[in-house]
Each structure stands twice: as C-alpha cells, then as structure tokens.
Amino acid sequence: MSTSRIIELENVSVFQHHILVLSSVTLGVDKGEFVYLIGKTGTGKSSLLKVLYADLPLIDGSANVVGFNLKDIKNKEIPFLRRKIGIVFQDFQLLIDRSINDNLLFVLKATGWTDKVSMQRRVEEVLEKVGLDTKGFKLPHQLSGGEQQRVVIARALLNDPELILADEPTGNLDPESSEGIMQLLIDISKTGRAIIMATHDYSLFKNFPARTIKCENGKICDDKLTVNYENSSSIS
C-alpha cells in the first residue's frame, strides 16, 4: 500500500442483510483527496461506508483502510480503526441533554482521553476550526441545523483522523448552510485528510467539483475528473 494511500479496496463485495449490493469494488483514495459518493437510494452508498469503518464485515476481496487490514481485523482492534476515522452523520446524533462542550468531552472520554486540561484544550481547538468557539456552552437545540452539523464535524475531528466519512451531511440543511458545510469539508481535506462524502445533492458538484464515484447496478463507476451534469437528474 502506498504511503499516500488512505483507502485501498480490491474486488470487494458489499453485503447488507446477506444481500449483495455491490460487487467487484476496487478503489483507492489518497491523503487529502475529496471524493463524492453518489447514487440512488439503495444502491449501496451507506453500506460501502459501513464496510470502511468495519460496521459491516468484509466478506471477500481485500481492504486496507488507514493502515488496518479489514480482512483480518479483530473485534478488539475496531475501536482503534475508528479513532483514525471521523464519521459525520446526516441526523447529527448529538446528546440533547448536555452542552456542546460536554458532547465533545463525552467522545474524548469514550476514546481513552484522561487528562482534563488536554481534553478541554482539544474541544476548544476543534470548535474554533469549525467557527463555533463561542458556542460550546449551548445545548444542541439552541443551535441552527448548520451549526449542529458543524458540531458533528468538530466531533469527527477530535482524534485527528486521517479519513472522514460523511453520510449525507447536507441532507437536512438549507442551501446556504449546505454551502458553508461544503466549504468547511473542502478546507479540511486541504489539511491532508481524505474525505468521502455520500450525497444526493448534485447541485453541490457545480460549486465544489471533485472526484465522483457512482454506485449503480451493483457496481461503482469512478469518474476522477467531473460529473456529467446533463444526467444529474438521475441522482435521487
């Protein structure tokens, strides 16, 4: 595996509930690369992301993700894999009964941090990176949808991941908030982190062009240059 390569998949099959949804997936993603993952609902986008963070097992083929061989990974190693991967969900999944600071501290404790001074410093650093350094005391419901998604991105950055997987991160946001989240993710990729973003929102491609992988008919099609906008309406 190349030293610049964050993901390397070869002839991987992706199953969901014992049903084959993608076959012969061969894919390489390098450090600092931003990749769209597109396709209609049910074509395997989320399932492919779940394979990458070992939420779905690798049945056949070979996969190396952030230095871990997913074919041979043991259950006790999966938490260490996930510390090197930041995950951004569409529905935020924030703890509604505690402040933004406490949401982030909870994740640090769960991933092995113990020094309170270092933990608070890290929380302040990631909130500053996403433009929310004055909002840590607020509860999630006191923030807008765009701000809550920025918190989710801050949470994904806590353990300084090499890879960020974003599953429909703009799906619940208005166009202006979506553009802000996209710019933030693009800026993060420029710091050397690879980002794979599953999306239905093809309008983003024109303002933020990037390599695009399409899930269709049980396969992936890798377009390293652009998106065919004339056919974009087929993306649901």
Task: Write the pLDDT tens digit of every residue in 29-78.
Answer: 999 999 999 998 889 999 999 999 999 999 999 999 999 999 999 999 99
pLDDT of residue 47: 93
Beta bridge partner(s), residue 10? 62
Query: Two tokens at 2?
Result: 């190349």
Which amino acid type is present at position 154? A
Pairing of strands 62-65, 5-16: antiparallel
Maximum separation of any 2 CA atoms in the chain, in Å: 53
CA dihedral sign of residues 45, 66, 7, 149: positive
Tens digit of each residue's pLDDT (9 = 90 or more) over 79-111:
999 999 999 987 888 999 999 999 999 999 998
- For residue 96, what are the contacts with CB-CB under 8 A and spacing of at least 6? 139, 140, 141
Rounded-to-integer distance, Cα 130 and Cα 100, Å: 13
Query: Two tokens at 156?
Result: 């994904």
Phi/psi zone of residue 66: left (φ > 0), alpha (ψ -120 to 50 degrees), beta?
left
Q: At what angle do helices 116-129 and 100-110 cross, to 10 degrees?
A: 120
Edge to edge, the sheet with strand 62-65 lists: 19-30, 5-16, 62-65, 68-69
Rounded-to-integer distance, Cα 50 and Cα 209, Å: 25
pLDDT of residue 224: 60
Query: How much is the pTM?
Result: 0.88
Which amino acid type is present at position 66? V
Rounded-to-integer distance, Cα 215 and Cα 27, Å: 12
Beta bridge partner(s), residue 62? 10
In this predicted structure, the answer to whether residue 229 has a pLDDT above a threshold of 80 is no
Q: How large is the average pLDDT for residues 162-173?
A: 91
Across 71-80, 119-128, 220-229, least confident range:
220-229
Rounded-to-integer distance, Cα 3 and Cα 119, Å: 30
Contact criterion met (CB below 8 Å) for 116 and 108 = no
Burial class (CB within 10 angstroms; exposed 0-12, middle 13-18, buried 19+) of 14:
buried
Tens digit of each residue's pLDDT (9 = 90 or more) over 6-19:
999 999 999 988 89
Angle at alpha carbon of residue 139, lines to 133 and 144, rounded to 5°:
75
pLDDT of residue 230: 36
Contact criterion met (CB below 8 Å) for 18 and 8 = no
pLDDT tier at 171 (50, 70, 90 boundaries)? confident
Rounded-to-integer distance, Cα 110 and Cα 131, Å: 24
pLDDT of residue 86: 94
